[in-house]
Amino acid sequence: MDAVSPTPGVWRILYYSRYPIIRGHMRLFFAISFPDGVLEQLRALSSPITGVRWISTAGLHLTLQFIGKVDRQMVSRIRDAASIVASERFNQRFDLGLLGVGAFPRSRQPKVLWAGCEVPEALLRLQKDLLSSLQALGLDLEMRPFKAHITVARVRRGMRPEISGWLEQNNDFRTGSFEVQAFHLYSSELGSSGAVYHVVESYSLLEFTTS
């Protein structure tokens, strides 16, 4: 098993398998990872709430586009398409900050607890370009509006936890800005204790220029 750190000493090390031989199908998505300091702030949001399962540090990310199950041939095409997106001069590195918390679909009947984030134009452009590149491959994608967030907890099936106190306590949640230098293609494997993520490929964004 290998490790990759987009910026050594700053970004959290992400463990992954290169899958030189891919058998069957892979469940994929594109996402942004976070520096250690931001991960610590996200983990600090966790508190003992009956019926709530908090996401481990390794599972915290900002999903750009969920893809779903694809075969080996399509994985290769997706990787090539993402490389083109990353090389576009408009998709440069950008600053991002996290702020606010909430719940999906609603606070009285939550299924997911989340942390919000700023939505700079560069983030929207990157997400849109990835979506367009995947659509060009003929993939059947869920056409949900992009809602930038980080899932920090999931509600256990059949439970209706009281989260009003958590929402109020973390209403002013905010992190400092950090530079997004890359995005990643992840695979997801469902296990008995939740999903396990692997980085299949990382894509560095171009350094910001004014030209």
| Higher pLDDT, residue 111 or 14 | 111
Q: Domains of the chain, with CATH numbers?
A: 2-204 (3.90.1140.10)
Instruction: Give per-residue pLDDT as tens, 25-41.
Output: 899 999 999 999 999 99
Q: What is the pLDDT of residue 31?
A: 98
Starting at the edge strand that comes first in sequence, how are the strands of the sheet with 112-117 ordered? 52-54, 149-155, 112-117, 98-104
pLDDT (average), residues 79-90: 93
Q: What is the pLDDT of residue 32?
A: 98
Is the pLDDT at 43 greater than 50? The verdict is yes
Alpha carbon distance 97, 37 (integer Å): 12
pLDDT band, residue 22 (cuts 50/70/90):
very low
Q: What is the pLDDT of residue 142?
A: 83
pLDDT (average), residues 43-67: 95
Q: What is the pLDDT of residue 90?
A: 83
pLDDT (average), residues 174-188: 97
pLDDT band, residue 144 (cuts 50/70/90):
confident
Contact 86, 126 (CB under 8 A): no
Is the pLDDT at 5 greater than 50? The verdict is no
Q: What is the pLDDT of residue 199?
A: 95
